[in-house]
Structure 1
Amino acid sequence: MTVSDPVVESVIATISRSATEIRQGLIGRRGTVDEENPSGETQVEADIWADELLGDRLAGIDGVGQYASEERAEVEDCGGDPAMEDVYAVAVDPLDGSSNLKSNNAMGTIFGVYDAALPARGETLVAAGYILYGPITTMVLATEESVTEYELTGGERTVVDRDVRLPDEPVVYGFGGRVPDWPDDFQEYAREIEQELKLRYGGAMIGDVNQVLTYGGIFGYPGLESRPEGKLRLQFEGNPIGYIVERAGGRSSDGNQSLLSVDPDDLHDRTPVHVGNSELVERLEDRVENRIA
């Protein structure tokens, strides 16, 4: 599938071509550095390296007005105004699940292309996707028209499925955060779900969401007793993943409303994230109090 807008297609092509290089570049960059990202999390060498690689390449695309990353405190001005026609902002989580590097488990790259200056509502996304560095490197790309899965190799992308849809019958679930830190109402909901579905949780949201897209089900990282705002970032994780799942026929929610409807206050705002089959997300909204509403 080729995206009709040449700027958006250039962004997608640049990220997909960089995937093989990023995967290979993880070797030898598994150690932590004496720095934290703007969210206060310890960075690994690969976080910084992948961010610099993607930032340099995406900022060089004519029509990309802003670049923002989970690893950078501020939005980078690339020389264009996203309020202008055919100028976009790109938000990236260069290595989702980079803590999995130490144990050599799955991780990914998440990106969103916004038709608005950052921080922005998810409703302004025109494309979003993620790359999964699993046994096979794959990319799931959502646009206004459809959700497509690709295999990535040698800088090329090969279509696997042109119309990714959540299966009607859900099979798997994965919930983040420490169970003792879950609010009581979420714990009750989780106890119900674990009687119905199979647990799939690997410590990288991309891997867990990909399981949900493949088999149907629900992924959630709730607001916690110690952190009611949740852990995941709206601009870099919540919005792009919510956009993908909604385009695939599912729902996203912060516990009260679609993630795409949330008004951001700051580039690094956090949010509870729940995505999956509509019925499961609706049940969650009925049971769980939104503590950040």
Structure 2
Amino acid sequence: MTMSDPVVEDVVTTVSHSAPEIRRGLVGRRDAVDEENPSGETQVEADIWADELLADRLSSIDGVSQYASEEREAIIDCGRDAASTDGYTVAVDPLDGSSNLTSNNAMGTIIGVYDAPLPARGENLVAAAYVLYGPITTMLLATEDTVSEYELTDGNHRRIREDITLPDDPVVYGFGGRVPDWTDEFTEYARTIETELKRRYGGAMIGDVNQVLTYGGIFGYPGLESRPEGKLRLQFEGNPVGYIVEQAGGRSSNGEQSLLTVDPSDDIHERTPVFVGNESLIDRLEMQLS
């Protein structure tokens, strides 16, 4: 896992070495706690534990100036000078899909490394990765050069695929949100897609996106009638996953434009509709929603 920038390499290596420990630590931490994250979602013990572990390790890396997490309200300034904007910033979703702990289904960890203070545009990402806690613990890593997949075991990582691109012929789709809460425009699009592709939706974004990257297709969590801004967070989920898919030759979108070109608000926990997948499917989506 050699990269041109030693700070980025330290961040990615720290996540890859921490992932097996996080997986082991899920045991006994499945219960909900009497707290909510800044987005108003119920936390489980594992959410808080994984966030504290990653915050401690990533914020101690020389060259990382900020750490932000879906599980905490404020950004941690971790440079020697708290007012400094030098260095890379790291945005993390410590346990994507942690509600799946109850049913013991797949979940993941998402990380974005930005070369700009947070909140930042996705175009400022220099690397993004996600760990999938499936039958095998794997990490998909995207840099400016390539997209690669690694198998993770205690203290070790082994590259099993490199130069990953989306298959040309899409096979799967997965759409989130309650169907009665979908907009008419998105419902019409979804009804067309479900006649063409196989449905794969497991309640953890990373598991569903990994299906798309493996087989080709589209994942989406749209804006809803009750929540036009959608559910997923731009800094922690939309931008990093959008970056990974675009580096693999696909497209990302908020329904109008690439997620990577969206100007963020001052709210680190800003939500956005998220769509990622094969270019042709995203193009059709944007035409339908426009």
What is the TM-score of this pair, normalised by structure 1? 0.97
* Structure 1 equivalent of residue 56 of structure 2: 56
What SS is found at the alignment partner of 2:10? helix
What is the CA distance between 1:58 and its match in structure 2? 0.4
**Any conservation in 2 of the 1:82–1:116 contact (CA below 8 Å)?**
no
**Any conservation in 2 of the 1:19–1:155 contact (CA below 8 Å)?**
no
* Structure 2 equivalent of residue 272 of structure 1: 273
Aligned length in residues = 287
Per-residue CA distance 1:41-93 (angstroms, 9 max, x = gap): 00000000000000000011001100000001010000256743xx1000000
What SS is found at the alignment partner of 1:208? helix
AA at the equivalent of 2:22: I
CA distance in 1, matches of 2:212, 2:158: 22
CA distance in 1, matches of 2:68, 2:3: 22
CA distance in 1, matches of 2:59, 2:251: 32
* Structure 1 equivalent of residue 282 of structure 2: 281
What SS is found at the alignment partner of 1:140? strand
* Structure 2 equivalent of residue 173 of structure 1: 173
* Structure 1 equivalent of residue 141 of structure 2: 141
> Between the two proteins, what is the percent identity of the paired residues?
76
AA at the equivalent of 2:278: N
Over 3 Å counting, the alpha-carbon distance change for 1:82 and 1:237 in structure 2 is: farther
Over 3 Å counting, the alpha-carbon distance change for 1:144 and 1:30 in structure 2 is: same
What SS is found at the alignment partner of 2:282? helix
Per-residue CA distance 1:91-136 (angstroms, 9 max, x = gap): 0000000000000000000000000000000000000000000000
**Which runs of no fewer than 5 residues in structure 1 stay unpaired?**
none
CA distance in 2, matches of 1:72, 1:28: 22
AA at the equivalent of 1:286: M
**Any conservation in 1 of the 2:128–2:141 contact (CA below 8 Å)?**
yes
What SS is found at the alignment partner of 1:232? coil
Alignment of 1:35-54 (within 5 A): 35-54=35-54
**Any conservation in 2 of the 1:217–1:280 contact (CA below 8 Å)?**
yes
**Any conservation in 2 of the 1:122–1:259 contact (CA below 8 Å)?**
yes
What SS is found at the alignment partner of 1:271? coil
* Structure 2 equivalent of residue 257 of structure 1: 257
* Structure 1 equivalent of residue 211 of structure 2: 211
* Structure 1 equivalent of residue 19 of structure 2: 19
CA distance in 1, matches of 2:64, 2:237: 20
* Structure 1 equivalent of residue 153 of structure 2: 153
CA distance in 2, matches of 1:243, 1:37: 25
Per-residue CA distance 1:145-176 (angstroms, 9 max, x = gap): 00000000112110011111100000000000
CA distance in 2, matches of 1:47, 1:150: 24
AA at the equivalent of 2:280: E
CA distance in 2, matches of 1:178, 1:270: 17
**Which runs of no fewer than 5 residues in structure 2 stay unpaired?**
none
AA at the equivalent of 1:16: S
* Structure 1 equivalent of residue 108 of structure 2: 108
What is the CA distance between 1:141 and its match in structure 2? 0.3
AA at the equivalent of 2:24: Q
CA distance in 2, matches of 1:277, 1:43: 33
**Any conservation in 1 of the 2:65–2:85 contact (CA below 8 Å)?**
no
* Structure 1 equivalent of residue 78 of structure 2: 78
CA distance in 2, matches of 1:154, 1:18: 9
**Any conservation in 1 of the 2:252–2:277 contact (CA below 8 Å)?**
yes
* Structure 1 equivalent of residue 248 of structure 2: 248
What is the CA distance between 1:2 and its match in structure 2? 1.0
CA distance in 2, matches of 1:173, 1:162: 23
Q: CA RMSD in A?
A: 0.8
CA distance in 2, matches of 1:252, 1:91: 18
* Structure 2 equivalent of residue 233 of structure 1: 233
AA at the equivalent of 2:67: Y
CA distance in 2, matches of 1:60, 1:288: 44
